[in-house]
Amino acid sequence: MAAGNHTEASEFLLLGLSEDPELQPLLFAVFLSMYLVTVLGNLLILPAISSDSHLHTPMYFFLSNLSFVDICFISTTIPKMLANIQTQNKDISYIGCLTQVYFFTVFSGMDNFLLTVMAYDQFVAICDPLHYMVTMNPRLCGLLVLMSWFIIFSVSLFHILLMVRLTFCIGTEIPHFFCELAQVLKLACSDNLISNISLYVATALLCVFPLTGILFSYSQIVFSLTRMSSVRGKYKAFSTCGSHLSAVSLYYGTGLGVYLSSAVTHSSQRSSIASVMYTLVTPMLNPFIYSLRNKDVKGALGRLLIRAASCP
């Protein structure tokens, strides 16, 4: 087949988590509930931060961006899955699959970058508090976020440009509930060596470097805490990192679970179930992590709900 001819397959089949018809209503109810909780939880974070002047700081600026990205991240995959369950139709168009691959890569990468930037923010706040407001000025914060968007948009577009060169056969079945780049590349009928190499290089660069930055930031934070003489000061400083550490552990823990499940087992169902933790559970728990462990966010949410309830 010609490498540039991708018209053989105008659509793919998403096999989903289970083909058992009796499980479909349960899956629909569970995933719809989790999706609504995720969207509502993250949507509450955004007005709570924007409406409270005490939260107009770099940390909450990055948190609001993280909430926005999590809403987009989960909305890339779950609505299509719910629609397929409801209509009992497994089809996804070729363009729809490319679109899903692109935006899934964008928003998962942005989650990665934002967690790294937030780690740097924690590092400056604890290790150099006297210069914090000068260092983490609005211009730098905006630049860090814009650079992250630019990098991940470019990388994702590069993957898509390589992907459109591939040929896919009619009736291609994707053993997943969404079009995930690595899964789709495995199913190409033409040579996908360049695409696979690019995927591995991008994964290494976009995961290893951010994770290294997070680990370096926290190594410096721990070193600074060991030099503090006040136990209360140590507890207060470390408590500010608790929410972020929980989010980082959840994000990289589930991501590692997806990778290991794909590498160790050949069961597509187990790999898909592991992906649920990464694509759905992580963005669902993030607003709870940052609100339940943060008095400022809880206070802002309380004031927001009181104002909403008092409106006629």
Residues 100-115 pLDDT 10s: 999 999 999 999 999 9
277 assigned to some structural domain:
yes
State residue 111's pLDDT score.
93
Residues 245-278 pLDDT 10s: 888 888 888 777 666 655 555 555 666 777 787 7
53 assigned to some structural domain:
yes
State residue 101's pLDDT score.
94
Residues 18-72 pLDDT 10s: 777 888 889 899 999 999 999 999 998 898 888 888 888 999 999 999 999 999 9
State residue 268's pLDDT score.
59
Q: Provide the mean pLDDT of the chain.
A: 84
4 assigned to some structural domain:
no
- Burial code (b: 16+ CB inside 10 Å, e: under 16) for 157-189 equals eebeebbebbbbeeebebbbbbbbbbbbbebbb
Mean pLDDT of 112-124: 93
2 assigned to some structural domain:
no
Range of the domain at 189: 11-310
* N residues, the chain: 312
State residue 199's pLDDT score.
85
SS3 136: coil
- Enter the pTM of the model: 0.88
User: What's the number of domains the chain is made of?
Assistant: 1
State both tokens at 104: 């899934």
Going across the sheet that includes 173-174, the strands are 91-93, 11-14, 173-174
If one compares 71 and 239, the residue with the highest pLDDT of the two is 71
Residue 9 pLDDT level (bands cut at 50, 70, 90): low
1 assigned to some structural domain:
no
State residue 312's pLDDT score.
58
Residues 199-224 pLDDT 10s: 888 888 888 889 899 999 999 988 88
CATH number of the CATH domain containing 109: 1.20.1070.10
Q: Which residues contact 90 (CB under 8 A, 6 or more apart)?
A: 13, 14, 15, 16, 84
Q: Is the pLDDT of residue 241 over 90?
A: no
